[in-house]
Amino acid sequence: MRPLFKLIGTLYLAVVLSVQQGDDVDVDSYVQSETPIAKAGVLANIGPDGALSSGAAPGVVIASPSTTNPDYLFTWTRDSSLVFKALIDQYVSGQDTSLLGHIENFITAESIIQQVSNPSGTLTTGGLGEPKFNIDETAFTGPWGRPQRDGPALRATALITFANFLLSQNNESFVTQTLWPIIQNDLNYVQDNWNQTTFDLWEEIDSSSFFTTAVQHRSLREGATLATTLGQTSLASGYTTQAENVLCFLQSFWNPSGSYITANTGGGRTGIDANTVLASIHTFDVNAGCDATTFQPCSDKALANHLVYVDSFRGIYDINADLGPAAGVATGRYPEDIYQVGNPWYLATFANAEQLYAALHTWTTVGSIEVTSISQAFFQQFIPSITPGTYPSSSSTFTSLTSAIRSYADEFIAINAQNTPSGGGLSEQYSKADGTPVSANDLTWSYASALTAFQARGGVFSNSWGAQGLTVPSSCVPPSTSENPTVAVTFQVDATTVFGQNIYLVGSVDALQNWDTNTAMLMSVENYPIWILTVNVPASSSIQYKYIIKDGSGDVTWEADPNNVLDTPANGALATHDTFRN
Q: Which residues are annotated as a binding site for substrate?
A: 144
* C-alpha–C-alpha distance, residues 575 and 532, integer Å: 10
> Cα–Cα distance between 203 and 416 in angstroms, integer?
24
The helix/strand/coil state of 378 is helix
Q: Residue 75: which H helix or E strand, with range?
A: strand 75-76
Compute CA 554 distance to the chain's CA centroid, rounded to the nearest angstrom. Answer: 34
Do 112 and 136 contact (CB within 8 A), yes or no? no
Q: How many CA atoms lie within 13 A of 232 on its CB side?
A: 19
Give strand pairing partners of 505: 521, 547
Q: Is 551 one of the catalytic residues?
A: no
Distance between CA atoms of residues 93 and 32, nearest Å = 20
Q: Return contacts of 516-520, CB within 8 angstroms, 24+ apart.
A: 517/548, 517/550, 517/556, 519/142, 519/143, 520/548, 520/550
Task: Write the CA distances from 533 to 132, 290, 526, integer angstroms.
Answer: 19, 40, 11
Helix, strand, or coil (residue 541): coil
Both ends of the chain: CA-CA distance in Å?
45
Give dist(CA 421, CA 43) in Å, integer: 19
Catalytic residue among 34, 150, 186, 203: 203
Catalytically annotated residue among 34, 130, 200, 206: 200
What is 133-185 written as a DSSP string? E-TTSPBP-S------TTHHHHHHHHHHHHHHHHHHTT-HHHIIIIIHHHHHH
The answer to whether the beta carbons of residues 87 and 107 sit under 8 Å apart is no
Instruction: Give the Cα separation of 503 and 525 in Å (integer).
Output: 9
The phi and psi torsions of 437 (rounded to 5 degrees) equal -60, 135
Whether residue 203 lies in the annotated active site: yes
The Cα 330–Cα 434 span in angstroms is 12
Say if residues 246 and 283 touch (Cβ distance below 8 Å): no
Q: What is the DSSP string of 215-245?
A: HHHHHHHHHHHHHHHTT-HHHHHHHHHHHHH
β 486-494/578-579 pair status: parallel
Q: Which residues of 170-206 are buried (b: 16+ CB within 10 A; e: fewer)?
A: eeeebbbebbbebbbbbbbbbbebbbebbbbbbbbbb
Helix (H) or strand (E) holding 492: strand 486-494
Pick out the residues of the known binding site: 144
- Rounded to 5°, angle at Cα 5 from 4 and 10: 105
Active-site residue set: 200, 203
